[in-house]
Chains A and B, each alone.
Chain A
């Protein structure tokens, strides 16, 4: 009986050991994903909502939801695509909740746009990006998304399609429409 008990204990702890190993693996996968993709995802969020602090909150939420997904035992084949998808859903919720300050809105609020320091303080984005912000603001969310991925992250149409889970043709159409809209502004 004693041997049976010992045997049972060893089997149980083999199972427990493998659970612990699994957790360590998941945590490593998760943190590697953070190290690799955090800047890119943060940049994407920030250029969609124009708010650095909120972008950090949303980045954090993106990764914490990803963690919750992983600990339910689910697999992520394409971490980058998954992160973009989670971030995009959070961005859409954020955009619906608030109207971000447009440059017109800033002017109405009495902000002197020519003063880069005031611009920086209001949106926590350096004056260097003023032109990018100004152009992106003219676009609907679907076009903004592909423009950021194409011209800031420098992803190919194929890569964008893969990340968004849509056809390359649709990505091309959106890019062309965005470019048409921006043509008169440049």
Chain B
């Protein structure tokens, strides 16, 4: 038997990266390393090592600017580096469509967070809103292309459902945050409403894609879906527990009514998990998977809302918003 195994597995040794793949990943890693240098390195000493000066100076200058650019908002000097260097490099460095689609979700989150931070400071002008909307649209189109590639290459409906579900949770959470700003009287009220409209269109589109996948999965059978449902059950429970803990730790960022509403939503997520447990015990693993996924989406939504409120130092109300930061008045 040992010989037979060696014969079978021996071929595996020939499986490796193509030379061009190996070189490409190496170049990605060099780029990553140059953007994440050793902390104490100083530009001045580069001049003592002329061999490295040209490439290293550029890389480290870009690296330092790149790190600073992460907190830049539209209109700031380093914002183009954030968009054209940091984000495009990260998308470029991913191989699989899953990773690229995941990064599209992150980009959408970044754009919406920028809009919220500007709205909190009264800085969401028409021009900036237009720029953010345009980038959101482009990013969404790339997301759809990447999801299509996943569908075509893997035929794994569960992955597509998870990705669509994650995106929906992100968009809905930010739609909610932006809605909090829209009730205030300010010169940027129209810009905020326009942005909410744009986000709403994307939410509908992603929800539609998600429902298609749910319908396919709900009726699926087999060992795969059973294992996936059991894994999803555990993940959903952890996600809800984490959201509950986060909500409890950040109670100060919610008015009482809003706090209880958020708690109710998490209660609904728990109910979905119980429903999933029930149908799973009946052997309906596809349906159980979709229920656990729905619970996760609710919990993710609550978690994102809470963490955004904390980051923006907002106080979420049932029908409005009381800012701890001062808004610029008209």
Contacts and interface: CB of A to CB of B under 8 A. Distances in A.
B13 A57 contact: no
Given A53-B96, A151-B9, A129 B42 contact: no
Contacts of A131: 8
Interface string B92-105: 01111111000000
A38 B19 CA distance: 11
A20 B45 contact: yes
A164 B28 CA distance: 28
A34 interface: yes
Interface string A32-58: 001100110011001100010110110
Interface in A90-105: 96-99, 101-102, 104-105
A89 interface: no
A13 B94 CA distance: 38
Interface-centre pick from A34, A125, A152 (highest chain B CB count, 10 A) = A152
Contacts of B225: 99
Interface-centre pick from B5, B15, B158 (highest chain A CB count, 10 A) = B15
Contact of B158 (A23, A98, A122): A98
Given A99-B228, A182-B5, A46 B15 contact: yes
A139 to B, nearest CB: 12
Given A16-B44, A60-B25, A132-B12, A99 B96 contact: no
Interface string B9-25: 11111111100011001
B16 A39 contact: yes
Contacts of B158: 98-99
A21 to B, nearest CB: 8
Contacts of B220: 108
Contacts of A60: 25, 28-29, 93, 95
Interface in A62-110: 63-64, 67-68, 71, 96-99, 101-102, 104-105, 108-109
Contacts of A97: 162
A67 B16 contact: no
Contacts of A51: 96, 154
B1 A98 contact: no
A31 interface: yes
Nearest to B48: A17
B13 A101 contact: no
Interface string A139-182: 00000000110011110000000000000000000000001001
A22 interface: yes
Interface residues of B, number: 59
Contacts, number: 165
B41 interface: yes
Contacts of B21: 56
A20 B15 contact: no
B227 interface: yes
A128 B40 CA distance: 49
B29 A53 contact: no
B156 A56 contact: no
A9 B289 CA distance: 65
A7 interface: no
A82 to B, nearest CB: 15
B96 A43 contact: no
Contact of A104 (B26, B97, B155, B222): B222
Contacts of B154: 51, 101, 122
A31 B28 CA distance: 12
A51 B4 CA distance: 25
B257 interface: no
Interface string B146-185: 0000000111101100100000000000000000000000
Nearest to A30: B33
Interface of B: 1, 4-6, 8-17, 21-22, 25-26, 28-30, 32-33, 36-42, 44-46, 48-49, 52, 93-99, 153-156, 158-159, 162, 220, 222-225, 227-228, 231, 235
Given A71-B37, A135-B8, 4 more contacts: A19-B40, A43-B13, A51-B154, A53-B96
10 contacts: A17-B45, A31-B26, A38-B17, A39-B17, A57-B99, A60-B28, A67-B33, A101-B155, A129-B11, A182-B5
